[in-house]
Amino acid sequence: MKSERLEQLGAVPVDGGVRFRVFAPDADEVSLHLFPTAFSSRASRRLELVRDPDGIWTVVAEGARVGDLYGYTVQGPRDGRPHERMDPSHILLDPWAIEVGRLPHWELDVDSPFLVGALGRVADRRFDWQGVEKPVVPPSRRVVYEAHVKGMTMLHPDVPEPLRGTYLGLCHPSVVRHLVDLGVTTVELLPVHAHMDDRFLIERGLTNYWGYSTLSWFAPHPAYASRPGHAFDEFRTMVRELHRAGLEVVLDVVYNHSCEGGIDGPDVSLRGFGKWYLRDEHGGFRDLAGCGNSLDFSDRNVRRFVLQSLRHWAEQGRVDGFRFDLASVHGRGERGFDPTSPFFSEMARDPVLGSTLRIAEPWDATREGYGLGRYPSPWLEWNDRFRDDTRLFWKGQGSARAFGLRLAGSPDIFVDRPHGTPVNYAACHDGFTARDLATWTSKRNEANGEDNRDGSDWNHSDDLGQEGDSMEPQLLERRARRVRNLLASAVFAQGTPMILSGDELGRTQSGNNNAYCQDNAISWVRWEDPDPWPDPAWVGRILSLRAEFPVPGSWEWIAAPQEHDQAVGVLLRAGDRMRAIVANASAQACSFRLPPGAWRLRFDSGAQNGDEDLRWGDLHLVVEASTLLVLDA
């Protein structure tokens, strides 16, 4: 099948009606069902589609219009195996629908629980971008801010209540002003693709809050719209207004698996149209994502489908890039992760996608899928080695050398790669917040309904002597300093820093390190914390200091005068400019000898008010306990 034919799929308004097209090369029969409302259990019209030699099925529904709701049934060959099914009793969501008019939902309060299928909505693809262009952010100045569309504004006092938790809420002037004043450049959104809530979560009274259970790769999640039927327009309005403020928009995308689960999972969309999932030698599903299925990226049609979806968001949604969840699934070969797999080269050659920002979560759910440092340039990669080495160092249990290498841009991992390749972070959505890293030694996930068995047990967190919240002033100051050390490490290290939304406000999840199902105050950003630590002004200041220094051309060690595995210093050189970053994680002060020159202290993690940047130092530098310093020559 020619790739340009894939661009013509979906529901497209035409003169006198709507043209519906889907790709189902193995089907014997495809039927379109038009529904009068989202609450209807029966279709008002049924039309049969006609197949062409490429496996594309088409029908023009005369009289259909924008706003109509529709689904498909597909009939095809069945060999008795459940993973080969094409069951015409299931109403299927169009995989190419750009809006979802009804999300699938479980009816559990009946004698025989059942799933109500999803419906697509015919949408108008036109949009007024008002002449706003995409921002141009130099890679050396990029700062990523990881946020959830709903959680960002549900508790924001200045966002009108009808807009809280929506696309329009995220681009409200008060939120945009906060992001700009903070100094971030790139908003990375947790999944906005329409997703489905798992049955086991519904039975517990919970939902899939993070959204890593994709239902549709072309449609924005309708629950984040302030008005039903306007999700795509409101999503594009959000992108336009963030662009107007000079902020990039990156989508966290989940192409490694779908919401349809394993062999016994529901047929809601993609699986009902053919063979899209990776198989094992027995014909069953291979699960590289830990969610029951994995898309088969060795299949040319799967890759074309994913590339078409990405182009849709880059062209129709005008997003600036993508962060690929469990990205190693996209490059899996017979012996594990293969950076030369076709998907990466096809995306690089694509005239639309080749210039987009690409960020990998460089692993999957298997040991063979770990690929940190192996992705093709210019991919950026989430640097979990930075996360772990930084946490361990400040906890007093790590290696000073390993932490020093992370500050220097992880040259031991990213060999001959561009400056911004490692995405350095102390905290992300998946785990403790920065504040909780200094408040809890053990996870507190009971609210998830799994008896605290879920979530990682390897957090390298530290309660600093008392588990949980405290009002003791000295303990609070020690915790605040720990958080400042963690965040400053991520900001000043060479690479691309990433900040978790709310960490600049001291957000806590009360010890929950796996809040994927907590659509409530556990996960939402608290904008009116009476005692934030740190605070946005402090984070903004260190981001400004980071931006003042050019891209380093080289680095070297700054040796402490005595053997000390809890203190380390690195010197960064950019032309005739030098910057020193020195850190002491021990309980006693230690000394460093700086290279010749006149040095000015720019940052001291022990000075919470930030008024220490005017002191001049000599070559003999004393670094207090639990302190990170930044000095410029």
Q: Residue written as tokens 């905290």? A: 427
Residue 583 to residue 590: CA distance in whole angstroms: 10
- pLDDT confidence tier of residue 1, bands split at 50, 70 and 90: very low
Whether the model clears a pTM of 0.85, i.e. scores above it, the answer is yes
Would you state the pLDDT for residue 3? 46
Query: Which of these is catalytic: 146, 197, 252, 325?
Result: 325
Average pLDDT taken over every residue of the chain: 94
**pLDDT (average), residues 341-355:** 97
Query: Which of these is catalytic: 99, 188, 361, 632?
Result: 361
Q: Which residue type sits at 183? A: G
Residue % of the chain over a pLDDT of 90? 87
Q: Could you tell me if 444 and 463 are in contact, meaning their C-beta atoms sit under 8 angstroms apart? A: no
Per-residue pLDDT at 117 exceeds 70: yes
Q: Show which of 86, 104, 121 is a domain's final residue.
A: 121
Q: Show which of 61, 87, 121 is a domain's final residue.
A: 121
Per-residue pLDDT at 560 exceeds 80: no
Domain that holds residue 567: 554-632
Per the domain annotation, does 624 fall within a domain?
A: yes
**pLDDT (average), residues 231-252:** 98
Q: Could you tell me if 338 and 375 are in contact, meaning their C-beta atoms sit under 8 angstroms apart? A: no
CATH number of the domain bearing residue 35: 2.60.40.10
Tokens linked to 40: 């209807």
- pLDDT confidence tier of residue 440, bands split at 50, 70 and 90: very high
Residue 313 to residue 358: CA distance in whole angstroms: 13
pLDDT digits (tens, 9 = 90+) for 397-416: 999 999 999 999 999 999 99
Label residue 455 left, alpha or beta by phi (over 0 means left) and psi (-120 to 50 means alpha).
left
Annotated catalytic residue 234: no
**pLDDT (average), residues 285-297:** 95
CA separation, residue 223 to residues 130, 163, 632 (Å): 26, 12, 48
Count of structural domains within the chain: 2
From 225, 8, 214, select the one nearest 125 (Cα to Cα): 8
Per the domain annotation, does 227 fall within a domain?
A: no
Per-residue pLDDT at 5 exceeds 90: no
Per the domain annotation, does 99 fall within a domain?
A: yes
**pLDDT (average), residues 186-215:** 97
Would you state the pLDDT for residue 616? 63
Per the domain annotation, does 529 fall within a domain?
A: no
Q: Show which of 61, 96, 121 is a domain's final residue.
A: 121
CA separation, residue 490 to residues 206, 308, 409, 486 (Å): 33, 34, 10, 7
Per-residue pLDDT at 609 exceeds 70: no
Would you state the pLDDT for residue 611? 47
**pLDDT (average), residues 119-128:** 96
Per the domain annotation, does 177 fall within a domain?
A: no
Would you state the pLDDT for residue 113? 87
Per the domain annotation, does 261 fall within a domain?
A: no
**pLDDT (average), residues 436-458:** 97
Per-residue pLDDT at 166 exceeds 80: yes
CATH number of the domain bearing residue 613: 2.60.40.1180
Per the domain annotation, does 25 fall within a domain?
A: yes
Per-residue pLDDT at 383 exceeds 70: yes
Among the listed ranges 104-118, 195-209, 227-241, 464-478, which one has the minimum average pLDDT value? 104-118
Q: Could you tell me if 332 and 341 are in contact, meaning their C-beta atoms sit under 8 angstroms apart? A: yes
Annotated catalytic residue 54: no
Q: What are phi and psi of 538, to 5 degrees?
A: -65, -45
Per-residue pLDDT at 2 exceeds 60: no
**pLDDT (average), residues 24-41:** 95
Per the domain annotation, does 168 fall within a domain?
A: no
